[in-house]
Chains A and B, each alone.
Chain A
Amino acid sequence: MASKRAFGLLEPLAARRTSRSELRRTTQCQRRWSSVSQRPGSDRVHFPGAVNSKFTTALAFTRPAELEAMPTYRILDQEGVIVDKSRQPSDISSEEMVGLYKHMVSVSIMDLIMFDAQRQGKVSFYMVSAGEEGIAVGSASSLSPNDPIFAQYRETGIFQYRGFTPHDFMAQLFATTDDPGRGRNMPVHYGSTKYHIHTISSPLATQIPQASGAAYAVKMQNMHNPTDEQRVVACYFGEGAASEGDFHAALNIAATRACPVLFICRNNGYAISTPTLEQYRGDGIASRGVGYGIDTIRVDGNDILAVREVTRQARQLALEQGGRPVLIEAMSYRVSHHSTSDDSFAYRAKVEVEDWKRRDNPITRLRKYMESNSLWDESQEKELRSEARKSVLDAYRKAEKEKHPPLRSMMTDVYEELTEEQIEQMQKMKKMVERYPNEYDVTGYEGGLDGMNVDRR
């Protein structure tokens, strides 16, 4: 992030899309591109917009419905068995594999506890990532810890993998004084400078063009510091978000500027209630990457080993020739409700969800593989689950008792420094509370009424 990798200091109207008059008038127009010209007798078109297209006399529309869908890469089948025995997962030690498993289970246990906590009114909101733990944990395991990440809100596994403790999660979820977001964001909007993960923002897809720009910054920094670790940016989003204009703008600009960014789409089948059939036509999100000239792969998101391998190779690809974007479409099924504010049985059958839960999910698939390879057993499973539960609950109970940050946090950080107007407003609000003490409860905030005192920062 900025603090780590910032450079040292070195030292008449033209209608935009129509009028050319201004352009013609300019005398110092600099010619910077070589022209594309048509050779006589060529069998190919040399239009500037399609430089290698063959002429044809056969009038035929390209019909996407008739094309084969892009294949889905996997290593393990649904029973946790390696599909191609000649291709064993090579780059992963047993300890690492068990570590990935533990991260997935920890996230799923915290999800269960916090979903219930929301139902009991302890936190205002929560979002689980059930069924998608493998995408977050598996991809994060193939990134460098220094690669900046832009996430959506269903990637708790990347925070878990990079080092978030139950205390870190709970501080944000309960908006305590230890919440870096200073009690401003809804639950699950985590962020961390230490772990190079930008703070989650609720609007969908806004993070995608930002990831392209961040990757361009990283590309420049890679270029200027060739002996440092060469980094990429990873960007996560759902298939619903890929309908937003920002997605298209992001892929196009990343392609044209050759930005080292991994676009990782979690295609979980639903955008709240809207199934993919009502979200898009065409071959998923992957086909769009091809349209933008971006190297693309589809992977089975329930197979954490496949996600890990695909991300590893995508990262290498993204650093080739100075940088380029790569799109990964990870297929999964959102076995949970969209959020605690959603009851998905209003729009899909419980039996469908149960079927997916039972038949296939990333946690059981890896567990089956580990058990059949004698890396894991029932007693280890029990111990892991009870320890994970205990550590989450301990942090939960502590966080529940914590205060919110001081009330001045309502106003600070809008600008680098408080404005004169904000200082006046904060003083007004404090006087208001003093005049009507029974109308406000300031006891839940660090410092109570004094927390409203402000200076220039």
Chain B
Amino acid sequence: MLPRALTTTRRAYASHPPKARLNISTDYSSTPLLHHSAKSALANKELSAEARNGTTQRINLFQAINSALAHALRSDQRVLLFGEDVAFGGVFRCSMNLANEFGDDRVFNTPLSEQGIVGFAIGAAMEGMRPVAEIQFADYVYPAFDQIVNEAAKCRYRAGSNGDAQSSGGLVIRMPSGGVGHGALYHSQSPESLFTHIPGMRVVIPRSPTQAKGLLLAAIASNDPVIFMEPKILYRAAVEHVPAEAYTLPLSTAEILKEGKDVTIISYGTPLYTCQSALEAAERDLKCSVELIDLRTVYPWDRQTVMSSVRKTGRCIVVHESMVNAGVGAEVAATIQEGCFLRLEAPVQRVAGWSTHPGLAYEKFNIPDVARVYDAVKTVLEY
């Protein structure tokens, strides 16, 4: 029999303060950001006609990734999938059954070396393959930083007129990223802004299973190398109807998830759910109308969609999980003040992780929550 103290201990990271009204967990089963019916999933105007006329499967985000990878491997002989522990299905199950279906030559384990994985992938891409390399956690991508910054991003540029044959186009580097409540320093990071400083790479972060499938297939088809960061908390949490057919969604194109008149909220990945909860509360309490934009690709990003929204609303908040300093929000805010200065009714707000590391016990105070986004809406309205 366990001591009573142990049996009654609740997992602190699954709870919220008893009187909380804003900071309550996302209800993924009802959020309007996910497709809860086949009809809603197939109404997506970005889908190809085949996908729209097909059926849907109700799957989570790792299954959507798996479905995209399976389609890519099936339809294009040049596609390879490899990384640490990929062959047995991957530690997040994204590559389940793929080694069995497509063989050890195309889906395989590598030695434990991120610089080796990415260097190998770049070379395979330069010789005509379309390699999908998995870094087991975004927190471990840094040994590969040189290969990404100095090689993948620059291959085409330095090869010049040889660029079509010597670029790293077709390369996709996938990595799970972001907080899950208990990942601490080395299983929580979202290093996307580091890669947005590097022209030559496309940096993509999907918010949902549907987005993950379409954006991943677009990334594999792209002739530019892509960093594809998968919010790992959504692997199992986000479940929705996803078109069963293969389809691509456009890279470097933002999506307006909800139209509004008074405030624009710009985000990507997991915090979009936080933003959705916050805007619902703000619209109810503050009688305002909020527009929500998913950047989807954080570099090169869709500046025009964002700026035309801010020109309409005059107020803007950028929300992301990773640190505020030199984050994606800094670039978005600077672009907005350059492009929309006369239309701004309030300073651009950034709601982001603080300038510290993701310490284990402090995640709830570090990652943007509903209250902080709500408060930012209030701030820009009252300015």
The listed residue (A3, A32, A224) touching B99 by CB distance below 8 A is A32
Chain B 229-260 residues near chain A, CB threshold 8 A: 232, 236, 252
A105 within 8 A of B: no
Which of A153-161, A188-196, A337-345 is the interface stretch? A188-196
Q: Report the minimum CB–CB distance from B298 to chain A (whole Å).
A: 13
A150 touching B123 in the complex, CB below 8 Å, given contacts A2-B166, A16-B91, A414-B157: yes
The answer to whether B119 and A250 have CB atoms under 8 Å apart is yes
The listed residue (B77, B119, B128, B223) touching A246 by CB distance below 8 A is B119
**How far is B76's CA from A7's CA once the two chains are assembled, in angstroms?**
8
The answer to whether A246 and B115 have CB atoms under 8 Å apart is yes
A22 within 8 A of B: yes
A398 within 8 A of B: no
Q: Which residues of B contact A28 (CB under 8 A)?
A: 89, 93, 96-97
Q: Which residues of B contact A359 (CB under 8 A)?
A: none
Q: Which residues of A contact B223 (CB under 8 A)?
A: 416
A26 touching B93 in the complex, CB below 8 Å, given contacts A2-B128, A214-B124: yes
**How far is B162's CA from A1's CA once the two chains are assembled, in angstroms?**
10
Q: Which residues of B contact A145 (CB under 8 A)?
A: none
A209 touching B115 in the complex, CB below 8 Å, given contacts A415-B200, A419-B252: yes
B151 within 8 A of A: yes
A213 within 8 A of B: yes
The answer to whether B128 and A5 have CB atoms under 8 Å apart is yes
Q: Which residues of A contact B116 (CB under 8 A)?
A: 209, 212, 246, 249-250, 252-253
A415 touching B158 in the complex, CB below 8 Å, given contacts A13-B180, A201-B150: no
Q: Report the minimum CB–CB distance from B332 to chain A (whole Å).
A: 13
**How far is B283's CA from A289's CA once the two chains are assembled, in angstroms?**
66
Write out, one digit per residue, whether chain A residues 166-187 have a CB within 8 A of any chain B CB (1) or not (0): 0000000000000111101100
The answer to whether B119 and A214 have CB atoms under 8 Å apart is no
The answer to whether B224 and A416 have CB atoms under 8 Å apart is yes
A128 within 8 A of B: no
Write out, one digit per residue, whether chain B residues 61-84 have a CB within 8 A of any chain A CB (1) or not (0): 000000000000011111010001
**How far is B121's CA from A214's CA once the two chains are assembled, in angstroms?**
8
**How far is B89's CA from A29's CA once the two chains are assembled, in angstroms?**
7
The answer to whether A201 and B158 have CB atoms under 8 Å apart is yes
Which of A110-118, A215-223, A324-332 is the interface stretch? A215-223
**How far is B44's CA from A421's CA once the two chains are assembled, in angstroms?**
28
Q: Report the minimum CB–CB distance from A291 to chain B (whole Å).
A: 13
Q: Which residues of A contact B157 (CB under 8 A)?
A: 184, 413-414
Q: Which residues of A contact B347 (CB under 8 A)?
A: none
A413 touching B120 in the complex, CB below 8 Å, given contacts A199-B166, A209-B115: no
A206 within 8 A of B: yes
A14 within 8 A of B: yes
A413 touching B111 in the complex, CB below 8 Å, given contacts A212-B123, A421-B303: no
Which of B25-33, B139-147, B211-219 is the interface stretch? B139-147
Write out, one digit per residue, whether chain B residues 105-116 have a CB within 8 A of any chain A CB (1) or not (0): 110101101011
B355 within 8 A of A: no
The answer to whether A5 and B127 have CB atoms under 8 Å apart is yes
The answer to whether B140 and A16 have CB atoms under 8 Å apart is yes
Write out, one digit per residue, whether chain A residues 196-209 have a CB within 8 A of any chain B CB (1) or not (0): 00110101001011
Q: Report the minimum CB–CB distance from A53 to chain B (whole Å).
A: 20
**How far is B223's CA from A68's CA once the two chains are assembled, in angstroms?**
50
Nearest A residue to B183, CB-CB: A13
**How far is B42's CA from A308's CA once the two chains are assembled, in angstroms?**
62
Q: Which residues of A contact B75 (CB under 8 A)?
A: 9-11
Q: Report the minimum CB–CB distance from A323 to chain B (whole Å).
A: 11
**How far is B222's CA from A350's CA once the two chains are assembled, in angstroms?**
54
Q: Report the minimum CB–CB distance from A222 to chain B (whole Å).
A: 11
Q: Which residues of B contact A91 (CB under 8 A)?
A: none
Nearest B residue to A245, CB-CB: B115
**How far is B136's CA from A233's CA once the two chains are assembled, in angstroms?**
28
B199 within 8 A of A: yes
What interface size band does chain B fall in? 35 or more
Q: Report the minimum CB–CB distance from B299 to chain A (whole Å).
A: 9
Write out, one digit per residue, whether chain B residues 352-381 have a CB within 8 A of any chain A CB (1) or not (0): 000000000000000000000000000000
The answer to whether B108 and A7 have CB atoms under 8 Å apart is no
A256 within 8 A of B: yes
What interface size band does chain A fall in? 35 or more
Q: Report the minimum CB–CB distance from A146 to chain B (whole Å).
A: 12
The listed residue (B87, B91, B119, B163) touching A210 by CB distance below 8 A is B119
A140 within 8 A of B: no
Q: Report the minimum CB–CB distance from A10 to chain B (whole Å).
A: 5
Q: Report the minimum CB–CB distance from B191 to chain A (whole Å).
A: 16
Q: Which residues of A contact B111 (CB under 8 A)?
A: 249, 252-253, 256
Q: Report the minimum CB–CB distance from B284 to chain A (whole Å).
A: 33
A6 touching B119 in the complex, CB below 8 Å, given contacts A193-B162, A199-B158, A199-B159: no
A30 within 8 A of B: yes
Q: Report the minimum CB–CB distance from B127 to chain A (whole Å).
A: 4
Q: Report the minimum CB–CB distance from A115 to chain B (whole Å).
A: 24
The answer to whether B108 and A257 have CB atoms under 8 Å apart is yes
Q: Which residues of B contact A14 (CB under 8 A)?
A: 91-92
**How far is B180's CA from A415's CA once the two chains are assembled, in angstroms?**
34
**How far is B92's CA from A312's CA once the two chains are assembled, in angstroms?**
45
The answer to whether B146 and A203 have CB atoms under 8 Å apart is yes
Q: Which residues of A contact B129 (CB under 8 A)?
A: 216-217, 220
The answer to whether B169 and A182 have CB atoms under 8 Å apart is no
Q: Which residues of B contact A185 (CB under 8 A)?
A: 158
B304 within 8 A of A: yes
The answer to whether A148 and B127 have CB atoms under 8 Å apart is yes
Q: Which residues of B contact A32 (CB under 8 A)?
A: 87-88, 99-100, 104
Nearest B residue to A209, CB-CB: B119
**How far is B164's CA from A420's CA once the two chains are assembled, in angstroms?**
21
A429 within 8 A of B: no
A130 within 8 A of B: no
A23 within 8 A of B: yes
Q: Report the minimum CB–CB distance from A228 to chain B (whole Å).
A: 13
A336 within 8 A of B: no
Nearest B residue to A183, CB-CB: B160
A179 touching B126 in the complex, CB below 8 Å, given contacts A14-B92, A253-B111: no
The answer to whether B128 and A7 have CB atoms under 8 Å apart is yes
A144 within 8 A of B: no
A286 within 8 A of B: no
Q: Which residues of B contact A29 (CB under 8 A)?
A: 88-89
B156 within 8 A of A: yes
Q: Report the minimum CB–CB distance from B52 to chain A (whole Å).
A: 22
Chain A 286-317 residues near chain B, CB threshold 8 A: none
**How far is B113's CA from A208's CA once the two chains are assembled, in angstroms?**
14
The answer to whether B150 and A206 have CB atoms under 8 Å apart is yes
B182 within 8 A of A: yes
A277 within 8 A of B: no
The answer to whether A419 and B300 have CB atoms under 8 Å apart is yes
A211 within 8 A of B: yes
**How far is B123's CA from A2's CA once the two chains are assembled, in angstroms?**
11
11 contacting pairs across A/B (C-beta < 8 A): A2-B128, A13-B183, A210-B122, A212-B119, A214-B127, A215-B123, A233-B127, A245-B113, A246-B146, A414-B157, A415-B202
The 7 closest A-B pairs by CB, nearest first: A209-B119, A249-B116, A213-B123, A210-B123, A213-B120, A217-B127, A182-B160
